[in-house]
């Protein structure tokens, strides 16, 4: 079953909120994880593990390093599922 | 003239209360923080010890959710106590480079280590948190307090088992006397009421097994004592160079006038039975404070309620101070907070002098005849105090004595 980008964004926002405490309304596609949402590299690892579990995708380290914005992550999940 | 070290802030979270005021009130009133453990693992492992002194207020309840999940419980209590002490000190304006933190712990992040090991075993490598190491490292409590206060003058984490918190205060005193910094936030933190610590201490036969009477289990200096009761918590002081505190108009709550440390060189866990090393630490503390035995009006004893340790300490106190000082052993009420004990009990020393009141030693009903000291029992005793000693000893043969004087 294909998940929509909106569903991915909503799920990702819940994960980021759970891990880093950022309000889900703040988590929009253009936002940068590090510079704008103030998420550190340790939290990014936690987020990646939860994304893998939730969406059934693999997020290798070299991919994770290139997921700069929320939109990057949504696009990666969308094309990998 | 030597730099004086003054105390400008106190903070704590303990089995008797979530802050200094509630802890001190309960200690004076002779209340116990010891409770029966109801966790399922008590039965599952058939633990011989089924009591502990748990925190009165769950630290996670007073922290934002994300901080609570990123900090081990021993780090949580350290930050909570440090924030209270910092507020109490009037949030000193000090250059970050002139502010240091010294917070000791005996065990560190054992809850995290075991929890993450369970995840590794049961769910695999991927489930292990990337925060595992910063949550289990024993310098974690000090480092988090340092980050919270923006300290850049050094962050230190002395590890000396049950003397860690007292050793932290001793190191702070040395840093201030040497003029390295102007302000030090110092103390101890511990939170390890888990099956492995209970099992390990129980296998040493170091713990009370008076499971049917939790409140009566911790019996320092009592003839029927049968070991210590494990507790958790944190105590933190803000210490300053007297000149710096005076210049900013800070209220002083007492002085850390002298410190003494020694090592037994005897056995990895057993105290030297004559209390020679412990006595040497006390004598050194008096000497560095420039005080005579007769100046000391009060001793807050380490007395954990183990059969050997209490008698050795009593001998040390008699030799190094005499039998005139009014003694109390707060572990009867607080349990043994391990690396936080020396710090929390030092706070009690300072408050005893401030209020002219020595709290009772809980459960001391029949004084061991080998303890030839004036130990307060029953209810608190009013007595005017100008100088007091806090003793702390740790596995490994660590002895720390601190001399506090009134403001």
Given a cut of 90, whether residue B407 has pLDDT beyond it is: no
Q: Are B342 and B392 in contact (CB under 8 A)?
A: yes
Count of domains observed in chain A:
1
* Active-site residue flag, B398: no
Between residues 58 and 77 of chain A, which touch chain B (CB distance below 8 Å)?
none
Residue A64, min C-alpha distance to chain B (Å): 14
pLDDT for B2 equals 78
Mean pLDDT of chain A: 94
pLDDT for B1 equals 62
Minimal CA–CA distance to B103: which of B239, B283, B195? B239
Given a cut of 80, whether residue B261 has pLDDT beyond it is: yes
Query: Which residues from B are below 8 Å from A19, CB to CB?
Result: 66
Q: Answer yes or no: do B131 and A52 touch at CB < 8 A.
A: no
Q: Provide mean pLDDT across the span B20-34.
A: 98
Query: Which residues from A are below 8 Å from B127, CB to CB?
Result: 49
For B249, the token pair is 């108009």
Domain that holds residue A69: 5-80
Contacts of B75 (CB under 8 A, 6+ apart): B109, B135, B140, B141, B144, B189
CATH of the domain at B102: 3.40.47.10
Q: Provide mean pLDDT across the span B313-335.
A: 98
Q: Answer yes or no: do B64 and A21 touch at CB < 8 A.
A: yes
pLDDT for B206 equals 95
- Helix or strand (DSSP H, E) at B239: strand B233-241
Residue A29, min C-alpha distance to chain B (Å): 22
| Cβ–Cβ pairs < 8 A, chains A and B | 17
Count of domains observed in chain B:
1
Rounded to 5 degrees, φ, ψ at B405 are -125, 160
pTM of the model: 0.96
For B397, the token pair is 């043969």
What ipTM was predicted for this assembly? Answer: 0.89
Out of B162, B253, B298, B398, the active site residue is B162
CB neighbourhood size of B10 (10 A): 29
Q: Answer yes or no: do B130 and A46 touch at CB < 8 A.
A: yes
Q: Could you report the per-residue pLDDT of B276-286, keeping only the tens digit for each?
A: 999 999 999 99
Q: Answer yes or no: do B65 and A20 touch at CB < 8 A.
A: no
Determine the Cα–Cα distance for residues B319 and B312; give it in Å rounded to an integer: 11
Residue B63, min C-alpha distance to chain A (Å): 12
For B260, the token pair is 């003494």
Minimal CA–CA distance to B76: which of B144, B147, B16? B144
DSSP H helices, B248-382, are 276-289, 307-320, 331-334, 341-355
Q: Could you report the per-residue pLDDT of A33-70, keeping only the tens digit for each?
A: 999 999 999 999 999 999 999 999 999 999 999 999 99
* Active-site residue flag, B302: yes
CATH of the domain at A70: 1.10.1200.10
* Active-site residue flag, B324: no
Determine the Cα–Cα distance for residues B137 and B119; give it in Å rounded to an integer: 18
Q: Could you report the per-residue pLDDT of B134-181, keeping only the tens digit for each?
A: 999 999 999 999 999 999 999 999 999 999 999 999 999 999 999 999
Q: Is A45 on the interface with B (CB under 8 A)?
A: yes
Out of B156, B298, B336, B398, the active site residue is B336
Given a cut of 60, whether residue A7 has pLDDT beyond it is: yes
Determine the Cα–Cα distance for residues B335 and B53; give it in Å rounded to an integer: 6
Q: Could you report the per-residue pLDDT of B352-397, keeping only the tens digit for each?
A: 999 999 999 999 999 999 999 999 999 999 999 999 999 999 999 9
Q: Could you report the per-residue pLDDT of B319-329, keeping only the tens digit for each?
A: 999 999 999 99
Domain that holds residue B144: 5-405
Q: Provide mean pLDDT across the span B102-126.
A: 97
Given a cut of 60, whether residue A1 has pLDDT beyond it is: no
């Amino acid at each position: 079953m294909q998940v929509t980008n909106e569903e991915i964004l909503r799920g990702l926002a819940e994960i980021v909120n759970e891990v880093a405490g950022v309000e889900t309304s703040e988590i929009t596609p253009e936002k940068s994880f590090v510079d704008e949402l103030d998420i550190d590299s340790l939290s990014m690892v936690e987020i990646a593990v939860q994304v893998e579990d939730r969406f059934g995708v693999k997020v290798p380290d070299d991919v994770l390093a290139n997921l700069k914005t929320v939109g990057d992550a949504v696009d990666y999940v969308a094309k990998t599922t | 003239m030597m730099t004086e070290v003054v105390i400008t802030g106190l903070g704590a979270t303990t089995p008797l209360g979530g802050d200094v005021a509630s802890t001190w009130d309960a200690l004076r009133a002779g209340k116990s923080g010891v409770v029966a453990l109801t966790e399922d693992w008590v039965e599952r492992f058939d633990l011989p010890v089924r009591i502990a002194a748990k925190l009165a207020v769950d630290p996670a309840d007073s922290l934002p959710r994300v901080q609570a999940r990123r900090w081990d419980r021993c780090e949580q209590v350290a930050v909570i106590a440090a924030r209270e002490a910092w507020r109490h000190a009037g949030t000193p304006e000090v250059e970050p480079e002139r502010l240091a933190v010294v917070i000791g712990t005996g065990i560190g992040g054992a809850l995290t280590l075991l929890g993450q090991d369970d995840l590794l075993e049961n769910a695999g490598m991927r489930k292990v948190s990337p925060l595992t190491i910063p949550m289990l490292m024993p310098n974690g409590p000090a480092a988090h307090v340092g980050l919270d206060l923006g300290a850049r003058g050094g962050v230190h984490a002395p590890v000396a088992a049950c003397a860690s918190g007292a050793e932290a205060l001793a190191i702070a005193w040395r840093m201030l006397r040497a003029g390295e910094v102007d302000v030090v936030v110092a103390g101890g933190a511990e939170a390890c009421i888990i099956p492995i610590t209970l099992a390990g201490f129980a296998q040493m036969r170091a713990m009370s097994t008076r499971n049917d009477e939790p409140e009566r289990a911790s019996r320092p200096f009592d003839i029927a004592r049968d070991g210590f009761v494990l507790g958790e918590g944190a105590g933190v002081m803000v210490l300053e160079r007297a000149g710096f505190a005076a210049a900013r108009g800070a209220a002083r709550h007492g002085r850390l006038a002298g410190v003494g440390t020694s090592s037994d060189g005897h056995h990895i866990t057993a105290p030297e039975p004559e209390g020679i090393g412990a006595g040497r630490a006390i004598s050194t503390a008096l000497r560095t404070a420039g005080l005579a035995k007769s100046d000391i009006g009060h001793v807050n004893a380490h007395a954990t309620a183990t059969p050997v340790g209490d008698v050795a300490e009593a001998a040390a106190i008699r030799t190094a101070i005499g039998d005139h000082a009014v003694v109390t052993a707060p572990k009867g009420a607080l349990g043994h907070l391990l690396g936080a004990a020396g710090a929390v009990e030092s706070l009690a020393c300072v408050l005893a002098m401030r209020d002219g009141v020595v709290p009772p030693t809980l459960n001391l009903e029949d004084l061991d005849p080998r303890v030839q000291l004036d130990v307060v029992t029953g209810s608190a005793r009013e007595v005017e105090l100008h100088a007091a000693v806090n003793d702390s000893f740790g596995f490994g043969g660590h002895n720390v004595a601190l001399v506090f004087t009134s403001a």
